[in-house]
Amino acid sequence: MSRFITFGEVMLRLTPPDHEVLFQTNRFVATFGGAEANVAVSLANYGEDVAYVTAAPKNPVGDAMIRELRSFNVDTRFIRRSGSRLGVYYT
């Protein structure tokens, strides 16, 4: 088995529920996304040893982001905790 390290930004993804359009709702489903995080999770799903290098805010959102990556067996020990903000995108 190979060891992989991915670098990149994890972002908070906000999606309207039930296939609604953005302006039809006042509720959102919050998940995490980002190309490099998706690659890390995919590699881990194939049983590869993968770590992620990024920064995460020192707050509950950062805690949730790290918890989500760990739930897919992505090594998070190289994630630096700093600041209080995380990028957000809407789908």
In this model, does residue 2 exceed pLDDT 90? no
pLDDT, one tens digit per residue, over 37-89 is 999 999 999 999 999 999 999 999 999 999 999 999 999 999 999 999 999 99
Residue 85 has what pLDDT? 93
Name the pTM for this structure.
Answer: 0.89
The domains of the chain are located at 3-90
Residue 51 has what pLDDT? 98
pLDDT band at 8 (very low <50, low <70, confident <90, very high): very high
Beta strands in 2-91 (DSSP E): 3-7, 11-15, 29-33, 49-56, 79-81, 88-90
3-90 belongs to CATH 3.40.1190.30: yes
